[in-house]
A and B are shown apart, each in its own frame.
Chain A
Amino acid sequence: MKHRRQRNLVLTFIAAAASIFMFTQNASAQESQYFPVASSRVGPYSAMGTGYYGAQIDYMNYVNMNGGVNGVMLTWQECETEYNAVKTVECYQRLLEKDGQRIVVFDTLGTPGAYAVINRMAEDQVVLAQYGYGRTDAADGRVWPWVFNAASHYWSQIAVKMKFMAEQEGGIDKMKGKKIVHLHIDSAYGREPLPAMRKIAEDWGVTLVEISIPPPGLEQQSQWLQIRRENPDWVTFWGAGSGMNSTAMTNAARVGFPRERMIYVTFGAAEEDMYPAGDAAKGTYAMANALPGDQYPLVQRIKEQVYGSGKGNLADEKRVGSVYWNRGLGAAVMWVEALRIAQEMHNKVGKAVTGAEFRDGYEALNMTEERLGEIGVKGMVAPFAISCANHEGAGKFAMMQWDGTKFVQVTDWEAPLDPGFIRKLVEESAAKFASENNITPKQCS
């Protein structure tokens, strides 16, 4: 009797140990894909960082709550860059590997950070996903196979802005003799659109005046006095950080420059940039590569499932659907879609993919109207496709106008008047870079 009891005890112990072993085996068998979140939640760019990266985390949570990507669960790790290029490199290094798995994509949400890591991408086999920012000529995938600037880069953006001005003035022929001030932060990001802008201005007979603002740009009196003297027809504003962005509008009001003649860059086109300026912001135009609003089905589902279960990343749920949050959602949707395509392309459905496989998936992105509808973001972003040579995607932007409390969309998704001309500039710039750096452009069939 005693022996039997001892035997049962031993068997029970073995069974328990076996079940624990099986459980851990199952748990470790659960495939996962690791993503880096190089966030900027503190400092002058925090409004942008909290919204954008908050959306990425919210979407990854949402995907996991719905079974992952073909069963592959998404994991992530965060590192604070404070929108600082040096810290971005530090974060890149820190986030590069976790539990033996390497990142497949990196998103700096800033041109300075993108420039700081861009030359590491090919060697490390990591995709640099510049969602509407960063190095423009990376749109030529033959020279920059690991770098993407979907959705749409700065040269297309400035071309769309100038097209909008021409439409408002009554046509390109009416632009001759007009004056545009390009007011920008004194950095590579502020000067990024200038190559395209100068060429278009020259072609149209427009006088272009370039005025720069030293960061952080809380004081812009001398710049706006110059603008008052120049008396331009339009101002294109290319600032960064809510301080600089809102101050430009209050200063415009101080010198009596109409806000209906100012067009803000995508990174000045958020609610957080408009609120501090109060009434001075009313009428300002701003560009969007992802439209704000919480009416999109995916946004609604994230609100219900993620925020409904208390797992939302934003402290203030009211920011869900704001410009930066929706932009972050657009970026995260592309990650997940690229992962799904990569799994299918490389017969790894239900398995994690490598950087090279993810790159293939990213390059095969085809976000048709139908596919965007299935995901639940139809209308939020312009439909686009990426190819081996074209890493820009749609090249389209929508114009919004601040009505004092919210953005109102005033145009549909618009492409530059001559997309071929912009593409030619991209290819010329990329070819120059390739020849200077002894890069043999990839052959795209």
Chain B
Amino acid sequence: MTEFLFFIEVVVGGLLAGTMYSLVALGFVLIYKASSTFNFAQGAMVFFAVLAFVGLMELGLPFVLAFFATVFLMFLVGYFTERLVLKPLMNQSEDTMLMATIGLGFVLEGLAQAAWGVEVRRLDLGIGDFPIPWIADSTGLFISALDLTAGTVSISMIIGLSILFKYTKMGLGLRAVADDAGAASSIGIPLKSIMLMVWTTAGIVALIAGMMWGARAGVQFALVDLALKALPVLIIGGFSSIPGAIVGGLIIGATEKVLEVYIGPFFGGAIEGWAPYVLAIFFLLYRPEGLFGEKIIRRV
């Protein structure tokens, strides 16, 4: 394998890993768009959703039924979050909402483990995580079907959600709520339904992200920590931009892999845990709204 081909493989591998980060970041973006709140519970939602999905399949539900049952469960999570957390805290500061999502995350983690146990589960989606022979033979690159599936799913979801929020009445309502919840409510936009829809959609995104990650690493508590991978993606892509989630994910994925492979050995390795945050800090210094985020202009 030539050094150039190896470099290409590192970059391609990073881009594919980045699409997996984007999947997690998407859930954050949805909530942020609706309530300007960083949903700290998103990592827990990923774990909660996919653990419920696998648990339901263990109870004998077929794949499709388990998927829709989990979607309904995430709807319930959204419903109760709206009723018990968001509504009572309406008009409170963003900091209060942030703290509430941290608490929600702990509740979901605890509930998931109490309901389904702490054992690590295997999730077989029927998609191989082995190198695709014809790609390996023709290019020398080792890319698996799961890599390609994750990339395709990420891009499809981003296109779908972009259309939903840009061109539908529901999306218009959401943008109005995000802009000024009070004004949106006064002209008859149903705040409750909008919030419910956003949290349910974030729940579905969490489920799909959990399925992709679970298929690779097993369904387990460590999925909660995926939130840490999504944070620099959001800072770079912009907290409120759906396309930003994929671009941020690709940048983080490719950069961290290149840095880990070529610079990591000089630092004793394992720099990909913190290197993306260094990049994120640069963005915060020079472009705090991220690549695609809305510029925040405040009257002084």
Contacts and interface: CB of A to CB of B under 8 A. Distances in A.
Nearest to B258: A222
Contacts of A316: 117, 119
Nearest to A280: B129
B130 interface: yes
Interface string A247-265: 1001001111000000000
Contacts, number: 133
Contact of B269 (A186, A215, A255): A186
A407 B258 CA distance: 37
Scoring A214, A215, A280 by chain B CB atoms within 10 A of each residue's CB, the highest score goes to: A214
Contacts of A244: 222
Interface in A338-384: none
A229 B1 contact: yes
Contact of B221 (A43, A229, A247, A278): A43
Contact of A276 (B110, B220, B274): B220
Nearest to A217: B222
B66 to A, nearest CB: 18
Interface of A: 41-44, 46-47, 50, 186, 210-219, 221-223, 225-226, 228-229, 241-244, 246-247, 250, 253-256, 272-273, 275-278, 280, 315-316
B226 interface: yes
A211 B269 contact: yes
B217 A250 contact: yes
Nearest to B124: A278
A40 B198 CA distance: 35
A222 B264 contact: yes
A213 B117 CA distance: 27
Contact of A272 (B119, B131, B271): B119
B120 A242 contact: yes
B217 A276 contact: yes
Given A221-B257, A256-B142, A275 B120 contact: yes
Contacts of B222: 44, 216-218, 241-244
Contacts of B217: 218, 243, 246-247, 250, 276
A26 B243 CA distance: 74
Nearest to A229: B6
Interface stretch (B8-16, B94-102, B170-178): B8-16
Given A41-B118, A221-B16, A243-B221, 9 more contacts: A42-B118, A44-B225, A46-B118, A186-B269, A218-B225, A243-B222, A272-B120, A275-B121, A315-B117
